[in-house]
């Protein structure tokens, strides 16, 4: 069942959702049904950057601001680019837009996202900023990484 304005209009609230949508087709259905007031896209659940860009363009067509979801490992590194692209190439506005920032686990990325004074700093390196450090990959490799070996040796995890 698609959300409908009749569900929230009486309460005077706006709905932000979409973080569990997998592709542009589902988003198109939400847009056509006026199913939300804020498009909360999740770049890791979608089928790549092309899907994300299609949703940004549809959001502009339907007049729905995009507020990317960024609550997990590496999501902030991805979504900073989406918000910057939306501002520069699609919407040309920051009005009614928010980009989530979770300030943890950035130490595992070669080019981590940075927020200062409540705003993302524009990345200065090329790429999608999602490259992880070799040391982190080695430490957390299952089951031979040092972090897993400690859990196994301490009896906290059994294989």
With cut-offs at 50, 70 and 90, classify the pLDDT of residue 1: low
Beta pairing class for 16-17 and 38-39:
parallel
Looking at the DSSP assignment, which residues form a beta bridge with residue 14?
A: none
User: Over the stretch 73-101, which tens digit does the pLDDT of each residue have?
Assistant: 788 999 999 999 999 999 999 999 999 99
Asked if residues 34 and 7 have their Cβ atoms less than 8 Å apart, the reply is no
Q: Is the pLDDT of residue 3 over 70?
A: no
pLDDT attached to residue 8: 76
- pTM for the complete prediction? 0.85
With cut-offs at 50, 70 and 90, classify the pLDDT of residue 9: confident
């Amino acid at each position: 069942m698609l959300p409908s304005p009749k569900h929230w209009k009486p309460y005077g609230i706006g709905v932000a959702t979409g973080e569990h949508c997998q592709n542009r087709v589902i988003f198109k259905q939400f847009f056509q049904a006026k199913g939300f007031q804020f498009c909360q896209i999740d770049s890791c659940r979608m089928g790549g950057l092309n899907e994300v860009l299609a949703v940004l363009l549809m959001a502009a067509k339907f007049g729905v601001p995009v507020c990317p979801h960024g609550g997990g490992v590496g999501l902030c590194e991805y979504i900073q680019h989406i918000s910057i692209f939306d501002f520069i190439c699609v919407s040309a506005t920051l009005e009614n837009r928010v980009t989530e920032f979770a300030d943890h686990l950035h130490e595992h990325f070669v080019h981590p996202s940075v927020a200062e004074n409540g705003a993302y700093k524009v990345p200065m390196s090329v790429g999608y900023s999602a490259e992880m450090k070799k040391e982190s990959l080695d430490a957390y490799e299952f089951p031979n990484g040092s972090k897993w070996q400690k859990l196994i040796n301490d009896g906290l995890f059994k294989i």
